[in-house]
Structure 1
Amino acid sequence: MFIFFTSCKDSNHTNNPIQISKAEKDTVSLYGPTGMVRNIRQDKKGNILIAAFKGVFRYDGKTFTNLTSKIKSPTFWDVLEDRKGNLWFASKDSGVYYYNKKGFQHFTIRNGLASNFVGSIYEDRAGNIWFATGGGASRYDGKSFRNFTTKDGLSSNAVTSIMEDKTGKLWFGTREEPCYYDGKKFTVFKKINGKPFYNVWSIIEDKKGNIWFGGSILKDRKGERGDTLVLEFGLWRYDGIDYTKVSNKGTSMILQDKNGDIWTTGALKVNGNWVFSRYDEESLYDKNPNVTEIFAQKGLGMLCGILEAKDGSIWFGSMNGVYRYNGKTLTDF
């Protein structure tokens, strides 16, 4: 491990899933995954779960175990341990894998999933498992899938993230505008000065009940085909009535820690540096909150998912693997 130092603080389907194999002995290493790490979670035992393009890994504090070494060639984007202790793996091109002590099961569009491109997994308070897919939002109740698309009022079928707030509304980030679902209908976020939001990758609810999301404003389309987009990056806060632009920094992933600080990853501008930042809780609602850039990756070195571990350390993914920050030291695994 290399150590860096910083001075900063409706459609229903009931098809049975494909049975793959019984769990076999997994590949264990002293080193973390190389290449892209999209998302990071923690299981009930405190192990760190890492969804990387080259596999889903479990870190027990000493070694990294590839939990998916027996699965052929999918590219993984997310991992989730549900309340029953079962694991779910989202893939870019092969749907969803379900893992328990007996082995793997595989869900695809053949079983009712909206798309085989699954970027994020979420478990709601009722125990339903939601999947943010390239073809809409899929809800799995343990028996069958129900898919929500633009036909139901979803703002875009390219869903990036899902979050349930304290009132029970489900929020969806999409490649276009964000929206929420109250159990009956979808409400799409209004435009800012006549310009729509665009490409929202992450949505959270803070301790005060405000909704935070990283998203661009689509200011204009240029070129003969209108495929050159003019975007205004930003981190936004929504209090139920008005939007506040907290920062001009591009924001892809957001987390609020136990102390109330907001952590983000995102690009400063198109083809610019990607930055891992912290917004201090004391000034979070000021006009100009205090923000500290913890780590920067030059060029197209994308930074991705964020996790606060039980010990208070902050983990984040990158194009080059996974990092852990303990408030003083940044560890590259």
Structure 2
Amino acid sequence: MAPTFVGAHLEMNCTECGVTLPLPTEFRRHEVPCWHCGKPHPRSLVQGEAVTVEGDLIKIVPTPTELQLGDIIAANIDEQPRVKRILGTPGDTISIESLRLLVNTQRLEDILAAAPNKSVATLPVDYDSHRKQSRWQPQLSRSGWTRSEGKWRFTPPSASNANDWLIYHHQAVYDQMRAAAVMDDVPINVDESRRMAFVDRMAIGITSNAHSHATVEVAFFIDGETRTTNPVIIGESTIIRCDQASVSHGNAALELADVAPMAVRVTSGIASFDELNLFRSVEYRLRKYDDQSVFPITLGPTEYYIVGDNVPASVDSRNYGPIADSQILGIIEP
């Protein structure tokens, strides 16, 4: 269920950019590339530097009267308790679109984002303060944005700053840093070899100087179009998700794309960002080898469709179909 719950594993810091590298306790690779900057780490170095981290401790509590989409449960699968997330409840229809799993025509990650009491599984994409060369670039040649020691600062220029966007440009860590869309990489899956899939549900995390008082708008490239949030007042630590962007952006001066999926601009005040981090939601989908012919599936009165948050590696209903309610042992509390 990584990244939501992680078993015993290894961790070490990248020798180039310093981010944490999560690693399985056993792996076959002779060298492990950093998921963030691509720096290769020889197996001998990992074995000498990595420390063992205990797995997450979870608690199974009795199942409530009605289970809901997104609930994390323990289920009896082949006489073993397995932790999974509910993607479909009795009466729901599970379908696919471009291999993405839909429940009643909606993406599960969108349902979770809209539900105030449900956890959204996320994975890191970019930690700007760990980069010597930022992937964020001002749109204007004469911009109020400046970067020093890994921190971005915005001071309003004398002219209008309406189009003074700071745009994120993604690069393929495992493909010579070429311009690329954000993909569904799972850093702990170091032995996995597969064609990764495009993702588009993002969030930005901003850690701001305590003396910074600014209002920002964030633009996201979602479902082939640029959408912008309403103005957000930045606190010392602020998360802005793409589901908050509901305003179609009519300004032709800002053109986002798969390879440049996010931008931020300051609409008032002076901003000083100590950290500018990018995350992606876990997106639930079929793998190339999963049987597509069984969809759509309408669940019976006692059936549930379950998935794991480690989408590429999880063994779940995509493999063995819906489970019966009698197999559910309880819900999970961290």
Larger Rg: 1 or 2? 2
Could you tell me the TM-score, scaled by structure 2's length?
0.26
What TM-score do the two structures reach when normalised by structure 1? 0.26
Structure ranking higher in strand proportion? 1
Which structure is higher in RCO with an 8 Å CA cutoff and minimum separation 6? 2
